Amino acid sequence: MKSDTLLESGYRVTEAADLSRRNSFHVPARAQWLIEVGDSRLLPEVFGLGAVKRSPLLILGEGSNVLLTRDWPGVVLMPVMRGIRILEDRGDAALVRVEAGENWNDFVHWSLGHGFAGMENLILIPGSAGAAPIQNIGAYGVEVREFIETVEAFDRGAGCSVRLDNADCAFAYRDSLFKREADRFVVTAAELLLPRRRELRLDYAGVREELAAMRIAAPNHVAVADAVMRLRTRKLPNPAEIGNVGSFFKNPVVPSTLANELRRENPALPAWPGDAGQCKLSAAWLVEACGFKGLREGDAGVSERHALVLVNHGTATGEQIRALAQRIVDTVQTRFGIRLEPEPRIV
């Protein structure tokens, strides 16, 4: 394959690419080939390239939800398509298309700036818009699946672009069809139905308290966005300052009977009722109760600000961070009988 510029060909190829600044853990890793695609119409051509057909493939967005534990012995493909536009204005809501390469936080700010409601709880989540449906990102009681109408993707199996509606995406807690069938689909865009009026979600993780501290008695969507930004900035370390991917573990969902038993033994354990006799437990509380908050082993550690955030203090390798994560999983399971699952993809 021959290197080319993104503007000239719609995609750019880099050989022996350094990935250390393309993952938010900032761990050292290289790829045999890095292909940045700026025009989704060229994906059939890209997948027809010889090196792509005969090499392992890893699809990477902004690298904010992945832990690289080694060099990648093949092709890393990055969708970098850009653009946001209103497809259909329905008065009380609008259908908005966002291309996969747009920064998610920039898109949330765009939505608020254009008078749309509901996205404020999802502000300041790192990563690309294309990664949002893969992970079904969520924060402060809101998930992106509540807004997604359609996801456009290139299906490697079929060799063509496909459009999947909300139901076909099989969204679940921090999960989707795209995550379960990793590297089959390249998400190229998402279409979201954004309302202009929506009831505020204020009952999660200190949002009301933050608004009170801001002396806002009658908040609007922009005020809630400001409150969430203050909360996230205070609780979560900035990946630009210290390597991390935000919350490393999912909150475990368990049968209510098990949750009640655990809470009888541990009254301080936070829990939230779920569907069909299920209950969601606080992974952060479980990790902190096992003594890991603030722990440091070399340059791999757990943030002092939030027990769910694993961090790279400088020169930790991905394997060192993975080993620490595994020790946390094993310790929590031994003490509480709960097996934590990672949020990021571990390569």
> Among 63, 28, 25, which Cα is nearest to 241's?
25
State the DSSP code for 251. Answer: P
Q: Is 247 a catalytic residue?
A: yes
Instruction: Tell me which of 40, 64, 247, 303 is the catalytic residue.
Output: 247
Here the tokens at position 14 are 């880099």
Here the tokens at position 131 are 């990664």
CA-only gyration radius of the chain, Å:
21
Q: Report residue 305: phi and psi, to 5°.
A: -90, -25
Q: Is 120 a catalytic residue?
A: no
CB 242 within 8 A of CB 313: yes
Q: Is 41 helix (H, G, I), strand (E, B) or coil?
A: helix
Angle between helix 104-113 and 221-235 (nearest 10): 150
Q: Is 183 helix (H, G, I), strand (E, B) or coil?
A: coil
**Between β-strands 300-302 and 296-297, what pairing exists: parallel, antiparallel or unpaired?**
antiparallel
CA pair distance 132, 169, nearest whole angstrom? 12
Instruction: Tell me which of 145, 174, 198, 322 is the catalytic residue.
Output: 174
Q: Is 310 helix (H, G, I), strand (E, B) or coil?
A: strand
Here the tokens at position 265 are 């033994």
State the DSSP code for 344. Answer: S
Here the tokens at position 315 are 């020169």
CA pair distance 244, 64, nearest whole angstrom? 8
Q: Is 9 a catalytic residue?
A: no
Alpha carbon 97 to its chain's center: 19
Catalytic annotation, residues:
174, 247, 343
